[in-house]
Chains A and B, each alone.
Chain A
Amino acid sequence: MPDEPVTSDEKTVSSEHHWWHRWFRLPGELREMGVVGINMRNARFLLPNNPRRLYELVDNKLRTKALAEEHGMNVAETYGVVRTPHDANKVDKMLNGNESFVIKPTRGSGGKGVLVIDGKNGKNFVKPSGAELTPGDLRNHVSNILAGLFSLGGKRDYALIEYRVCPAALLTAMSFQGAPDIRVVMLHGYPVMAMLRASTKESDGRSNLHQGAIGVGIDIATGITVRAIHHGNPVTTHPDLGIELIGVQIPEWDTILKMSVTCQEMTGLGYLGVDIMIDETKGPLMIEVNARPGLAIQMANGIGLMKRLEPVVEQHRLKPNADMHAKIAFSQHHFRAKLPPVRT
């Protein structure tokens, strides 16, 4: 691949410092940096590219998983599905001796209602934080899921019990308690931006950035972390663990990119986010597909999404039938970040 600088060092208005940057940015400055707002994302990328009927494929995790398995993708093993309150008593049988597992609503969003169990202590279940749940607490959580408490629009729901991912040691070192996941945002099957979300003490095991998790931008070309933000401000080390966050090579990056493109191909959604976790023994596992990925990823990467989306729109117009390899090559070539020195 030719070694050419992709981002030039042009001096722009937005890079100068002004007094108001402490409080806000002018719309013109954001536009110049290519920042995409919610209205823009919805009107220009979600509505035209994601037909409503396809949402069911990704809003229902059972269907997404089945689809992914058809396409030969690795997903977390399903231990069982609780469909009726009566089944809630059979959770033990479904676990089949596995002591660690995850219970999640099949139609949940944004990590709502996800319960992670690390192991057992006598009859009780132990969460990663060390808190214990009685079997009654667990049943109650399941019945909340069944009643639709966490699902989109409060629809009745099923509870999915699956393998608890043991993230690779490299990644657990970067996260306080929770397992970090990798989000790749795609347009028309081109990976446009990626980040790793690591939880902090403040975010309490969750990976939502507005709850205090850390967003770590990843270079699409190499899979090396380039930048990290906490509450919107750049950081270089984890606030609780002190570990360096930048310059980390994410393992099996090529597999991750291929999985992301496959997710786009299997769902048919034009604009989507793919969430992936890397298991120590099983490698990258597809966790979920999100049809309305958020905008914090551009802050984690320090690049406005528009700068990545517009070239893709143009490329897609020129070559509507590009295959997976061509798409990945295009993204890796055009979206290469300026790399910090690689940590060894």
Chain B
Amino acid sequence: MSAQAKLIMAVALLIAVGGGMAGYKSSKLGVPFWEGDQVNEWLVESRVSFLATGRDVKARLALPSIAVESGSGQESGSLDYHYNVEDDRGEYTAVWSSGAREDGQALYYRVRFKEGLNSGGEPIASVEKPNAPDVPKLPGSLGTAAQSIVTRAKNVAADPDSLFVALFEQINSGASSQEYLIVKRHYEKEGIANPNIAMGIDLLGLAGVPARPAYGVSLRDQNSGQIPVPLLEYYDGALWKVRNPANPSKILDGRELFVWHRGGGSLLDVDGGDNSRVTFTVVKDRIPLATLTDLQDSPLLVSTILALPAAERAVFRYIVLIPLGAFVVVLLRNIVGIATLGTFMPVLLALALLELPLVQGLVMFSVLVAAGLWFRFLLSRMNLLVVPRVAACVVIVTLLMMLMGVLSYQLGFSVGIKITLFPMIIIAWTLERMSLIWEEEGKRSAIVQVSGSVIVAVCAYHFMKVSQIQYWAFYFPEMLLILLAGILLIGRYTGYRLSELIRFKSFTNA
């Protein structure tokens, strides 16, 4: 069989397999093919992890009532644990228990709900009127300070709501009165997880307002491994209200925050384990729950990353984009003919850019490369050997990144901190190769190649940024086989590159 025939066979096979699987998933299993076709749902996955100490294990995680009442909650992936949900007058708790265990353990619980205004933190009437709060015991001068804070706050506040806002505005502000600082320092010294919340609860208690901690999850897509957002629930005389102490005057918005646990009691209790913690992974899910269950039973499971716990899935969001970037590089190098520094450097640059606003990202890259290049030329005067010189470049790039992070933070651009996402080693090598080309072939070649890389990176960035394409890559990874077929075809393209049409423009027959 000729090479040509083999290629056509391979391409046809890849397209048939990739397209067939995608078609089956879409038509039989009901995974929507177009991104806009479905209701957005949030998938929040809590992950309880702890180190078992060799005794019987019992873990209790408070659950949001919506999960149990609407049946959208789902325990997942906790091997060999006995699991049940405990119902205590409308407050639900997931309970996992098992015999003696050792080493790290992970338990998962997933909740799905429609994207909407409802945060689960709406004011609710109390079943019974809560007891007057315990007055916290604060020794000596602390007590006096706390008392005078409360008295002053009560003077300006008309009701528990405005008292809450007044107190937390002071607690949050850096420049508050001496009394606040004294009390604040006391709570910080105690080593409590959320000193501001504890302090707020005690101060509200002194003012006669019952309050207790609550926990929320920040609804930002692909936010993996986030810790619970500390919230505060207080009683205004008729209703229990939940607010975010970090932003005291704002009513909770269901589009940004989901209240996982309210109503007092602890979020997580683990017997027989140390270092227990709960983290949340939030994913915007576009596949209806019913479909997902079908999908997990189907033999196509191997082809879908949806079977993984959400925390592991989030990683793939970026990994599936790399082939797309590689495809753009192939296209631009072999069909268009843009010269780049290193073959796949542009893909890594594009991945880094995905995390930053494009313009800032490019500005930072240019500043980094320009500054790095200057240092690199200083280094070259010292006549160092190659490997130490590249290592020295890595150190300098690291320091430059820190410097830029700090500077941009000081100037008020928070994106500066994300600069660490630039692949440092890649930048060091870019500098090294660029300065070599600069010396060997002149600055024109060096600049042409770096700009070529940046242009390719920006194209790859725009391609990877298209949400429909991200959607296909993530929900239909088998479509990457079609991409592979395209790459194979380009691999046999023997026509002119676009750049050659220009290169040979003055070609004349002798």
Residues of A within 8 A of B (CB): 14-15, 21-27, 30-31, 33, 35, 37-40, 43-44, 112, 136, 140, 143-144, 147-149, 154, 208, 211, 217, 226-227, 232-234, 298-299, 301-304, 337-338
* Contact between chains at A39 and B493 (CB < 8 Å): yes
Whether, in the assembled complex, B28 has its beta carbon less than 8 Å from a beta carbon of chain A, the answer is no
* Contact between chains at B494 and A302 (CB < 8 Å): no
- Contacting residues of chain B (484-510) with chain A, CB-CB under 8 angstroms: 492-497, 500-510
Contact for B509 among A27, A232, A303, CB less than 8 A: A303
* Closest residue of B by beta carbon distance from A301: B510
State how many angstroms separate the Cβ of A138 from the closest Cβ of chain B. 11
- Number of chain B interface residues as a range: 20 to 34
When A and B form their complex, which 9 residue pairs have the shortest distance between CB atoms, in order from nearest? A302-B510, A147-B386, A37-B496, A24-B501, A140-B383, A40-B494, A43-B494, A37-B500, A232-B506
* Contact between chains at A39 and B507 (CB < 8 Å): no
13 further interface pairs, Cβ-Cβ under 8 Å (given A303-B509, A337-B510, A338-B510):
A23-B502, A25-B505, A27-B501, A30-B500, A30-B504, A37-B495, A38-B497, A39-B497, A147-B385, A147-B387, A217-B510, A232-B506, A301-B510
Whether, in the assembled complex, B104 has its beta carbon less than 8 Å from a beta carbon of chain A, the answer is no
Residues of B within 8 A of A (CB): 334, 337, 383, 385-387, 436, 440-442, 492-497, 500-510
* Contact between chains at A303 and B385 (CB < 8 Å): no
Q: How many Å lie between the Cα of A298 and that of B442 in the bound state?
A: 25
Q: How many Å lie between the Cα of A40 and that of B494 in the bound state?
A: 4
Q: A15-B509, A33-B509, A337-B510 are in contact. Are A40 and B385 (CB under 8 A)?
A: no
Q: How many Å lie between the Cα of A161 and that of B497 in the bound state?
A: 39
What chain B residues lie within 8 Å of A25 (beta carbons)? 501, 504-505, 507
Q: How many Å lie between the Cα of A148 and that of B495 in the bound state?
A: 34
* Contact between chains at A27 and B496 (CB < 8 Å): yes
> What are 16 A-B pairs with beta-carbon distances under 8 A?
A25-B501, A27-B501, A30-B496, A30-B500, A35-B496, A35-B500, A37-B497, A38-B337, A39-B493, A43-B493, A147-B385, A232-B503, A232-B507, A298-B507, A302-B508, A338-B510
What chain A residues lie within 8 Å of B334 (beta carbons)? 39
Contact for B507 among A136, A140, A299, CB less than 8 A: A299
What chain A residues lie within 8 Å of B494 (beta carbons)? 37, 39-40, 43-44
Q: How many Å lie between the Cα of A302 and that of B441 in the bound state?
A: 26
Q: How many Å lie between the Cα of A215 and that of B492 in the bound state?
A: 30
What chain A residues lie within 8 Å of B387 (beta carbons)? 147
What chain A residues lie within 8 Å of B385 (beta carbons)? 143, 147
What chain B residues lie within 8 Å of A39 (beta carbons)? 334, 493-497
Q: A30-B496, A40-B494, A112-B440 are in contact. Are A22 and B510 (CB under 8 A)?
A: no
What chain B residues lie within 8 Å of A208 (beta carbons)? 441
Q: How many Å lie between the Cα of A337 and that of B510 in the bound state?
A: 9
* Closest residue of B by beta carbon distance from A42: B494
* Contact between chains at B506 and A24 (CB < 8 Å): no
Q: How many Å lie between the Cα of A299 and that of B219 in the bound state?
A: 61
What chain A residues lie within 8 Å of B504 (beta carbons)? 25, 30, 35, 299
Contact for A211 among B442, B497, B509, CB less than 8 A: B442
Q: How many Å lie between the Cα of A33 and that of B510 in the bound state?
A: 10
State how many angstroms separate the Cβ of B299 from the closest Cβ of chain A. 39
Q: How many Å lie between the Cα of A25 and that of B505 in the bound state?
A: 5
Interface centre among B493, B497, B505 (most CB of A within 10 A): B505
State how many angstroms separate the Cβ of B96 from the closest Cβ of chain A. 53
* Contact between chains at A26 and B501 (CB < 8 Å): yes
Q: How many Å lie between the Cα of A212 and that of B500 in the bound state?
A: 18
What chain B residues lie within 8 Å of A24 (beta carbons)? 501-502, 505
* Closest residue of B by beta carbon distance from A144: B386
What chain A residues lie within 8 Å of B492 (beta carbons)? 43
* Contact between chains at B507 and A211 (CB < 8 Å): no
State how many angstroms separate the Cβ of B31 from the closest Cβ of chain A. 38
Q: How many Å lie between the Cα of A23 and that of B503 in the bound state?
A: 9
Interface centre among A38, A39, A338 (most CB of B within 10 A): A39
What chain B residues lie within 8 Å of A26 (beta carbons)? 501
What chain A residues lie within 8 Å of B386 (beta carbons)? 144, 147-149, 154
Q: A147-B386, A302-B509, A303-B509 are in contact. Are A27 and B337 (CB under 8 A)?
A: no
Q: How many Å lie between the Cα of A302 and that of B506 in the bound state?
A: 10
* Contact between chains at A227 and B510 (CB < 8 Å): yes
* Contact between chains at B436 and A149 (CB < 8 Å): yes
Q: How many Å lie between the Cα of A33 and that of B436 in the bound state?
A: 37
* Closest residue of B by beta carbon distance from A148: B386
Q: A43-B492, A144-B386, A147-B386 are in contact. Are A22 and B505 (CB under 8 A)?
A: yes
Q: How many Å lie between the Cα of A132 and that of B500 in the bound state?
A: 40
